[in-house]
Amino acid sequence: MPVPQAPKIMDETTRKELAAWLEFYQELGIEGFFRRDSSTAAPLPGLAAAKPASPEIVTQKTAASRSTAPASGALAARPPAASSAPSAASAAAHPSQQAIRPPAPTFNLFEAAPAPRSGPETLEQIREDLGDCQRCKLAPTRKTIVFGEGNPRAELMFIGEGPGADEDEQGLPFVGRAGKLLNRMMETVGLKRADVYICNVVKCRPPGNRTPEKDEVDACSPFLYRQIESVKPRLICCLGAPAVRTVLGIKEGITKIRGRFYDFAGTKALATVHPAYVLRNPREEKILREDFEKIREYLKAAPPSQDL
Ligand code: URA
């Protein structure tokens, strides 16, 4: 039976040091501190690893410096820092966790900590906000908005370009031929569709399956960024050039940069070719397989620490 731990009392020096740090953070515009005992904190999805039981301090930026609705792309991609494989160290450090902490109320650090009242935005809330979207010129020709599908706590998130005819009919992403290939690729590396989250850069089918245009991407991508922020995947997989351009801001040809890991606001993102490209060029299936092996390797590595 676990022995209850007596609460630790902070010594005066530590207390003063901590107070100085808090003052410093407040000057930087970061406030709203609360003490959280990580033994009671909900684990992140898929992170079964035991956490140290010491209390941790979670900081939350003020509304002015925090973006809750990244309409202007608040999770703007950092300058691409490509690497052919993520290091164990980079897998362990996961700064995105800091960016997407739930809002914390402001209160005295030395009082008992109330539980945070609200968590991060849910996918349902984002879908509700999208509503019967008429924000761009794709609206009049679409049949269905294809918001996204899958595990809201997925470790892996696929981002495609936009719905095709089958997706437009069914309201679900990647259910046509490209989707079948995606499912098969997932199976080859032991992933189940139900475990991942899948969505697209634009949520409505471009007529004739043309590439989404800039104004359409601009209107829709804030919802994509919010989906990423809500799911908080460990790894994003950008399928094809439009996803790479939107998420990572990289305009280079996909066949040049595929297979590399980049950084999206602290989350690793792998660029690979779109399954539809492989359907048109069946000999290229091997490169998609190669990249899915990288996904497997990445997810197999030790999950990141939740500590800040
Ligand atoms: N292609 C995409 O990019 N997305 C889909 O959902 C289907 C095909």
Residues facing residue 19 across a β-bridge: none
Give the ligand 1 atom nearest the CA of 239. Answer: 3
Would you call 130 helix, strand, or coil by DSSP? helix
Model confidence at 91, pLDDT cuts 50, 70, 90, reads: very low
Mean pLDDT lowest for which of 64-73, 110-119, 296-305?
A: 64-73
Regarding the beta carbon of 161 and ligand 1, being less than 6 Å apart is answered yes
Regarding the beta carbon of 174 and ligand 1, being less than 6 Å apart is answered yes
- Find the mean pLDDT for residues 92-102: 33
Give the ligand 1 atom nearest the CA of 200. Answer: 4
263 CA from centroid of ligand 1 (Å):
23
Query: What pLDDT does 261 receive?
Result: 98
Query: What pLDDT does 22 receive?
Result: 55
Model confidence at 120, pLDDT cuts 50, 70, 90, reads: confident
The residue to which tokens 């046509």 are assigned: 176
Regarding the beta carbon of 156 and ligand 1, being less than 6 Å apart is answered no
Q: Using an 8 Å Cβ cutoff, are 61 and 51 in contact?
A: no
Mean pLDDT lowest for which of 62-76, 106-120, 137-151, 252-266?
A: 62-76
Query: What pLDDT does 73 receive?
Result: 37
Query: What pLDDT does 96 receive?
Result: 34
Regarding the beta carbon of 162 and ligand 1, being less than 6 Å apart is answered yes
Residues 21-52 as b/e (b if ≥16 CB within 10 A, e otherwise) read ebeebeeeebbbbbebebeeeeebbbbeeeee
129 CA from centroid of ligand 1 (Å):
22
Query: What pLDDT does 95 receive?
Result: 31
Going by C-alpha positions, the residue among 271, 267, 266 that lies closest to residue 254 is 271
Mean pLDDT lowest for which of 25-29, 35-39, 284-288?
A: 35-39
pLDDT in tens, 203-255: 999 999 999 999 999 999 999 999 999 999 999 999 999 999 999 999 999 99
Query: What pLDDT does 19 receive?
Result: 65
Give the ligand 1 atom nearest the CA of 172. Answer: 6
| 186 pLDDT above the threshold of 80 | yes
Q: What percent of the chain has pLDDT over 70?
A: 60
Regarding the beta carbon of 173 and ligand 1, being less than 6 Å apart is answered yes
| CATH T-level assignment (fold) for domain 123-300 | Uracil-DNA Glycosylase, subunit E (3.40.470)
Pairing mode, if any, of strands 261-264 and 267-272?
A: antiparallel
| 190 pLDDT above the threshold of 90 | yes
User: Considering only CA atoms, which residue is closest to atom 7 of ligand 1?
Assistant: 174
175 CA from centroid of ligand 1 (Å):
8
Give the ligand 1 atom nearest the CA of 240. Answer: 3
Ligand 1, from 144, 157, 174: best to mutate by most atoms within 8 Å of Cβ?
174
277 CA from centroid of ligand 1 (Å):
11
Query: What pLDDT does 11 receive?
Result: 65
pLDDT mean across residues, the chain: 75
pLDDT in tens, 146-171: 999 999 999 999 999 999 999 999 99
- Find the mean pLDDT for residues 58-66: 29
